[in-house]
Amino acid sequence: MNSEAKLSQKANSSFTMDDFAKALEKHDYQFQKGQVVHGKVFQLDHDGAYVDIGGKSSAFIPRDEASLRAVTNLSEVLPLQEELEFIIIREQDAEGQVTLSRKQLEIKHIWERLVQMQENSQTVQVRVMGVNKGGVTVDLLGLRGFIPRSHLVERDNLEALKGQTLTTGFLEIDRSNNKLILSQRLATRSAGFSMLTNGQLVEGKVTGIKPFGVFVDLSGISALLHIKQVSQKFIDNLEKVFQVGQDVKAVIIDLDEGKGRVALSTRVLENFPGEILENMDEVMASAEARAARASNKAEES
Protein backbone atom coordinates (compact mmCIF):
# COMPACT_ATOMS: atom_id res chain seq x y z
CA MET A 1 0.00 0.00 0.00
CA ASN A 2 1.48 3.35 -1.02
CA SER A 3 1.77 6.27 1.39
CA GLU A 4 -1.07 8.20 -0.33
CA ALA A 5 -3.46 5.31 0.16
CA LYS A 6 -2.39 4.99 3.81
CA LEU A 7 -3.01 8.70 4.39
CA SER A 8 -6.39 8.40 2.70
CA GLN A 9 -7.35 5.41 4.90
CA LYS A 10 -6.16 7.21 8.03
CA ALA A 11 -8.16 10.31 7.05
CA ASN A 12 -11.26 8.19 6.46
CA SER A 13 -10.92 6.29 9.71
CA SER A 14 -10.26 9.42 11.76
CA PHE A 15 -13.21 11.15 10.12
CA THR A 16 -15.46 8.19 10.91
CA MET A 17 -14.28 8.09 14.52
CA ASP A 18 -14.75 11.84 14.91
CA ASP A 19 -18.19 11.59 13.39
CA PHE A 20 -19.05 8.79 15.79
CA ALA A 21 -17.76 10.79 18.76
CA LYS A 22 -19.81 13.81 17.73
CA ALA A 23 -22.89 11.63 17.36
CA LEU A 24 -22.33 10.29 20.86
CA GLU A 25 -21.96 13.82 22.15
CA LYS A 26 -25.19 14.94 20.53
CA HIS A 27 -27.30 12.09 21.85
CA ASP A 28 -28.16 11.70 25.49
CA TYR A 29 -29.23 8.10 25.89
CA GLN A 30 -30.71 8.62 29.34
CA PHE A 31 -33.88 9.99 27.71
CA GLN A 32 -36.42 7.39 26.61
CA LYS A 33 -39.98 7.50 25.29
CA GLY A 34 -42.55 7.32 28.10
CA GLN A 35 -40.10 8.73 30.66
CA VAL A 36 -41.33 11.54 32.92
CA VAL A 37 -38.80 14.39 33.20
CA HIS A 38 -38.56 17.82 34.82
CA GLY A 39 -37.53 20.90 32.89
CA LYS A 40 -37.83 24.67 32.43
CA VAL A 41 -39.24 26.41 29.37
CA PHE A 42 -36.68 28.95 28.14
CA GLN A 43 -38.14 29.99 24.78
CA LEU A 44 -41.67 30.22 23.37
CA ASP A 45 -42.30 29.81 19.66
CA HIS A 46 -45.44 29.99 17.49
CA ASP A 47 -45.37 26.19 17.08
CA GLY A 48 -44.43 25.29 20.66
CA ALA A 49 -41.70 25.84 23.22
CA TYR A 50 -38.07 24.88 23.92
CA VAL A 51 -37.35 23.24 27.25
CA ASP A 52 -34.16 22.63 29.17
CA ILE A 53 -34.39 19.12 30.63
CA GLY A 54 -30.70 18.86 31.49
CA GLY A 55 -29.62 17.07 28.36
CA LYS A 56 -26.87 17.98 25.88
CA SER A 57 -29.53 19.44 23.59
CA SER A 58 -32.79 21.26 24.28
CA ALA A 59 -36.15 19.53 24.14
CA PHE A 60 -39.22 20.74 22.24
CA ILE A 61 -42.92 20.63 23.17
CA PRO A 62 -45.31 21.15 20.23
CA ARG A 63 -48.19 23.58 20.77
CA ASP A 64 -50.88 20.86 20.58
CA GLU A 65 -49.07 18.85 23.29
CA ALA A 66 -48.96 21.75 25.77
CA SER A 67 -52.31 20.98 27.43
CA LEU A 68 -55.38 18.76 27.26
CA ARG A 69 -57.56 21.84 26.88
CA ALA A 70 -57.38 24.21 23.91
CA VAL A 71 -54.52 26.70 24.25
CA THR A 72 -54.75 30.30 23.04
CA ASN A 73 -51.79 31.66 24.98
CA LEU A 74 -48.82 29.32 25.41
CA SER A 75 -47.29 31.37 28.21
CA GLU A 76 -50.34 30.62 30.38
CA VAL A 77 -49.74 26.86 30.34
CA LEU A 78 -45.95 26.97 29.83
CA PRO A 79 -44.62 29.82 32.00
CA LEU A 80 -40.97 30.69 31.35
CA GLN A 81 -38.27 29.47 33.75
CA GLU A 82 -40.76 27.58 35.94
CA GLU A 83 -39.96 23.93 36.65
CA LEU A 84 -42.62 21.69 35.13
CA GLU A 85 -43.16 17.98 34.58
CA PHE A 86 -43.21 16.54 31.06
CA ILE A 87 -43.40 13.12 29.42
CA ILE A 88 -41.16 12.17 26.49
CA ILE A 89 -43.29 11.20 23.47
CA ARG A 90 -40.47 10.96 20.89
CA GLU A 91 -36.87 10.02 21.48
CA GLN A 92 -33.97 12.07 20.15
CA ASP A 93 -33.88 12.99 16.48
CA ALA A 94 -30.71 13.44 14.40
CA GLU A 95 -30.03 16.70 16.23
CA GLY A 96 -30.36 15.02 19.65
CA GLN A 97 -33.64 16.78 20.42
CA VAL A 98 -36.43 14.94 22.27
CA THR A 99 -40.14 15.78 21.92
CA LEU A 100 -42.15 16.39 25.07
CA SER A 101 -45.81 16.55 26.07
CA ARG A 102 -47.78 17.93 28.99
CA LYS A 103 -51.06 16.80 27.42
CA GLN A 104 -50.07 13.10 27.45
CA LEU A 105 -48.93 13.47 31.06
CA GLU A 106 -52.35 14.90 32.00
CA ILE A 107 -54.03 11.99 30.20
CA LYS A 108 -51.77 9.51 32.02
CA HIS A 109 -52.72 11.05 35.39
CA ILE A 110 -56.44 10.96 34.49
CA TRP A 111 -56.30 7.24 33.60
CA GLU A 112 -54.51 6.54 36.91
CA ARG A 113 -57.13 8.55 38.80
CA LEU A 114 -60.00 6.70 37.08
CA VAL A 115 -58.49 3.30 37.95
CA GLN A 116 -58.30 4.44 41.58
CA MET A 117 -61.93 5.60 41.46
CA GLN A 118 -63.00 2.25 40.00
CA GLU A 119 -61.19 0.40 42.81
CA ASN A 120 -63.04 2.56 45.35
CA SER A 121 -66.41 1.96 43.59
CA GLN A 122 -66.79 5.73 43.10
CA THR A 123 -69.18 7.31 40.62
CA VAL A 124 -68.36 10.05 38.08
CA GLN A 125 -70.24 12.75 36.18
CA VAL A 126 -70.02 12.50 32.38
CA ARG A 127 -71.42 14.60 29.55
CA VAL A 128 -73.17 12.87 26.63
CA MET A 129 -71.48 13.91 23.37
CA GLY A 130 -72.89 11.54 20.76
CA VAL A 131 -75.30 8.69 20.08
CA ASN A 132 -74.93 5.47 18.11
CA LYS A 133 -76.86 2.21 17.77
CA GLY A 134 -75.11 0.57 20.70
CA GLY A 135 -75.32 3.41 23.23
CA VAL A 136 -73.88 6.88 23.85
CA THR A 137 -70.38 8.39 23.75
CA VAL A 138 -69.45 10.64 26.65
CA ASP A 139 -66.75 13.07 27.75
CA LEU A 140 -65.04 12.30 31.05
CA LEU A 141 -62.31 14.78 32.07
CA GLY A 142 -61.36 15.15 28.41
CA LEU A 143 -61.35 11.40 27.69
CA ARG A 144 -63.88 9.69 25.44
CA GLY A 145 -66.00 7.05 27.12
CA PHE A 146 -68.93 4.85 26.14
CA ILE A 147 -72.14 3.76 27.90
CA PRO A 148 -73.81 0.69 26.30
CA ARG A 149 -77.57 1.04 25.75
CA SER A 150 -78.23 -1.78 28.26
CA HIS A 151 -76.49 0.28 30.97
CA LEU A 152 -78.57 3.43 30.46
CA VAL A 153 -81.65 4.24 32.52
CA GLU A 154 -83.27 5.86 29.45
CA ARG A 155 -82.84 3.33 26.63
CA ASP A 156 -85.57 4.26 24.16
CA ASN A 157 -84.82 7.87 23.24
CA LEU A 158 -81.02 8.17 23.17
CA GLU A 159 -81.09 11.40 21.14
CA ALA A 160 -82.74 13.13 24.12
CA LEU A 161 -79.62 12.37 26.20
CA LYS A 162 -77.29 14.50 24.02
CA GLY A 163 -75.72 17.29 26.08
CA GLN A 164 -77.01 15.83 29.35
CA THR A 165 -74.81 15.12 32.38
CA LEU A 166 -75.17 11.59 33.76
CA THR A 167 -73.85 9.96 36.93
CA THR A 168 -72.09 6.71 36.08
CA GLY A 169 -70.07 3.87 37.53
CA PHE A 170 -67.15 2.05 35.88
CA LEU A 171 -67.58 -1.15 33.87
CA GLU A 172 -64.17 -1.43 32.19
CA ILE A 173 -60.98 0.64 32.11
CA ASP A 174 -58.22 -0.41 29.71
CA ARG A 175 -55.72 2.33 28.94
CA SER A 176 -53.68 0.24 26.50
CA ASN A 177 -56.75 0.04 24.22
CA ASN A 178 -58.17 3.46 25.19
CA LYS A 179 -61.24 1.62 26.43
CA LEU A 180 -63.42 3.42 28.96
CA ILE A 181 -66.82 1.78 29.42
CA LEU A 182 -69.27 3.19 31.95
CA SER A 183 -72.68 2.34 33.37
CA GLN A 184 -75.46 4.65 34.49
CA ARG A 185 -77.43 1.73 35.94
CA LEU A 186 -74.46 0.69 38.09
CA ALA A 187 -74.32 4.17 39.63
CA THR A 188 -78.08 4.18 40.20
CA ARG A 189 -77.82 0.82 41.93
CA SER A 190 -74.88 2.03 44.02
CA ALA A 191 -76.82 5.13 45.09
CA GLY A 192 -79.80 2.92 45.93
CA PHE A 193 -77.67 0.56 48.01
CA SER A 194 -76.31 3.46 50.04
CA MET A 195 -79.88 4.12 51.24
CA LEU A 196 -80.47 0.54 52.41
CA THR A 197 -79.60 -1.01 55.78
CA ASN A 198 -80.13 -4.35 57.47
CA GLY A 199 -83.37 -4.48 59.46
CA GLN A 200 -84.98 -1.76 57.31
CA LEU A 201 -88.60 -2.16 56.17
CA VAL A 202 -88.80 -1.61 52.41
CA GLU A 203 -91.58 -1.63 49.85
CA GLY A 204 -91.25 -2.97 46.33
CA LYS A 205 -92.99 -4.65 43.42
CA VAL A 206 -92.93 -8.37 42.66
CA THR A 207 -91.14 -8.84 39.29
CA GLY A 208 -90.74 -12.61 39.18
CA ILE A 209 -91.81 -15.79 40.97
CA LYS A 210 -89.55 -18.84 41.01
CA PRO A 211 -89.89 -22.15 42.92
CA PHE A 212 -87.18 -20.98 45.37
CA GLY A 213 -88.39 -17.41 45.97
CA VAL A 214 -89.86 -14.13 44.83
CA PHE A 215 -87.91 -11.31 43.11
CA VAL A 216 -88.85 -7.82 44.30
CA ASP A 217 -87.82 -4.55 42.61
CA LEU A 218 -86.74 -1.87 45.11
CA SER A 219 -86.49 1.26 42.92
CA GLY A 220 -84.08 -0.37 40.45
CA ILE A 221 -82.46 -2.84 42.85
CA SER A 222 -83.51 -6.48 42.58
CA ALA A 223 -84.06 -8.20 45.93
CA LEU A 224 -84.91 -11.81 46.75
CA LEU A 225 -87.59 -12.97 49.16
CA HIS A 226 -86.59 -16.63 49.62
CA ILE A 227 -89.40 -19.17 50.05
CA LYS A 228 -88.15 -19.99 53.56
CA GLN A 229 -88.38 -16.30 54.50
CA VAL A 230 -91.98 -15.79 53.39
CA SER A 231 -93.71 -17.44 56.35
CA GLN A 232 -93.02 -19.43 59.50
CA LYS A 233 -95.32 -22.05 57.96
CA PHE A 234 -94.30 -24.36 55.06
CA ILE A 235 -95.27 -23.13 51.56
CA ASP A 236 -95.49 -25.56 48.65
CA ASN A 237 -96.27 -23.06 45.86
CA LEU A 238 -95.39 -19.34 45.89
CA GLU A 239 -97.70 -18.57 42.96
CA LYS A 240 -100.62 -19.20 45.33
CA VAL A 241 -99.31 -16.43 47.60
CA PHE A 242 -97.92 -13.74 45.24
CA GLN A 243 -98.63 -12.25 41.82
CA VAL A 244 -96.24 -10.42 39.48
CA GLY A 245 -96.86 -6.67 39.84
CA GLN A 246 -98.04 -6.97 43.43
CA ASP A 247 -96.75 -4.44 45.99
CA VAL A 248 -95.09 -6.04 48.98
CA LYS A 249 -93.45 -4.81 52.20
CA ALA A 250 -90.56 -6.78 53.69
CA VAL A 251 -87.58 -6.45 56.02
CA ILE A 252 -83.98 -6.51 54.74
CA ILE A 253 -82.10 -9.37 56.41
CA ASP A 254 -78.94 -9.43 54.29
CA LEU A 255 -77.15 -6.81 52.20
CA ASP A 256 -74.10 -7.31 49.96
CA GLU A 257 -73.42 -4.44 47.56
CA GLY A 258 -70.34 -6.15 46.11
CA LYS A 259 -72.47 -9.05 44.88
CA GLY A 260 -75.51 -6.85 44.29
CA ARG A 261 -77.53 -8.99 46.71
CA VAL A 262 -80.44 -7.98 48.91
CA ALA A 263 -82.29 -10.65 50.92
CA LEU A 264 -85.78 -9.95 52.29
CA SER A 265 -88.10 -11.48 54.85
CA THR A 266 -91.86 -11.23 55.45
CA ARG A 267 -91.65 -14.12 57.91
CA VAL A 268 -90.42 -11.72 60.65
CA LEU A 269 -93.63 -9.67 60.27
CA GLU A 270 -95.94 -12.55 61.25
CA ASN A 271 -97.64 -12.69 64.66
CA PHE A 272 -98.14 -16.44 64.24
CA PRO A 273 -96.99 -19.10 61.72
CA GLY A 274 -98.90 -18.86 58.43
CA GLU A 275 -100.44 -15.41 59.12
CA ILE A 276 -99.12 -14.04 55.84
CA LEU A 277 -100.84 -16.91 53.98
CA GLU A 278 -104.16 -16.34 55.72
CA ASN A 279 -104.24 -12.54 55.86
CA MET A 280 -101.60 -10.86 53.67
CA ASP A 281 -103.49 -7.53 53.58
CA GLU A 282 -103.53 -7.21 57.38
CA VAL A 283 -99.78 -8.01 57.65
CA MET A 284 -98.94 -5.45 54.94
CA ALA A 285 -101.21 -2.76 56.44
CA SER A 286 -99.49 -2.94 59.85
CA ALA A 287 -96.01 -3.78 58.52
CA GLU A 288 -94.31 -0.71 60.09
CA ALA A 289 -95.38 -1.61 63.64
CA ARG A 290 -94.57 -5.27 63.06
CA ALA A 291 -91.08 -4.43 61.69
CA ALA A 292 -90.37 -2.20 64.72
CA ARG A 293 -91.41 -5.00 67.06
CA ALA A 294 -89.21 -7.52 65.17
CA SER A 295 -86.28 -5.08 65.44
CA ASN A 296 -86.76 -4.72 69.20
CA LYS A 297 -86.90 -8.48 69.59
CA ALA A 298 -83.64 -8.86 67.64
CA GLU A 299 -81.94 -6.26 69.86
CA GLU A 300 -83.16 -7.97 73.05
CA SER A 301 -81.88 -11.36 71.89
Domain borders along the chain are: 36-102, 120-190, 197-300
What is the pTM assigned to this prediction? Answer: 0.58
Q: Which CATH superfamily is domain 120-190 in?
A: Nucleic acid-binding proteins (2.40.50.140)
Q: Residue 70: what pLDDT?
A: 85
197-300 fold? OB fold (Dihydrolipoamide Acetyltransferase, E2P) (2.40.50)
Name the residue type at position 242.
Answer: F
Count of CA atoms in the C-beta half-sphere (13 A) of 55: 28
pLDDT in tens, the chain (301 residues): 555 554 444 444 455 666 655 655 555 557 889 999 999 999 999 999 999 998 776 899 999 999 988 888 999 999 999 999 999 999 888 888 999 999 999 999 999 999 999 888 788 999 999 999 899 999 999 899 999 999 998 888 899 999 999 999 999 999 889 999 999 988 877 777 878 889 999 999 999 999 999 999 887 788 999 999 999 999 999 999 999 999 999 999 998 876 778 999 999 999 999 999 999 999 999 999 999 988 887 766 5
36-102 fold? OB fold (Dihydrolipoamide Acetyltransferase, E2P) (2.40.50)
10 Å CB burial of residue 168 (0-12, 13-18, 19+) is buried
**What is the Cα–Cα distance from 82 to 65, expressed in whole angstroms?**
17
- The residues that bridge with 215 in the sheet, in sequence order, are 208, 224
Domains 36-102 and 120-190 are alike in CATH topology: yes
Coil, strand or helix: which one is 199? coil
Q: What are phi and psi of 24, to 5 degrees?
A: -65, -40
- The residues, any chain, with a CB within 8 Å of residue 217's CB and separated by 6 or more, are 204, 205, 207, 223
CB atoms inside a 10 Å sphere around CB 146: 19
Let me know: does 235 contact 277? Beta carbons within 8 Å: yes
Q: Residue 109: what pLDDT?
A: 93
**What is the Cα–Cα distance from 259 to 59, expressed in whole angstroms?**
51
Q: Residue 10: what pLDDT?
A: 47
- The residues, any chain, with a CB within 8 Å of residue 22's CB and separated by 6 or more, are none
Q: Residue 11: what pLDDT?
A: 47
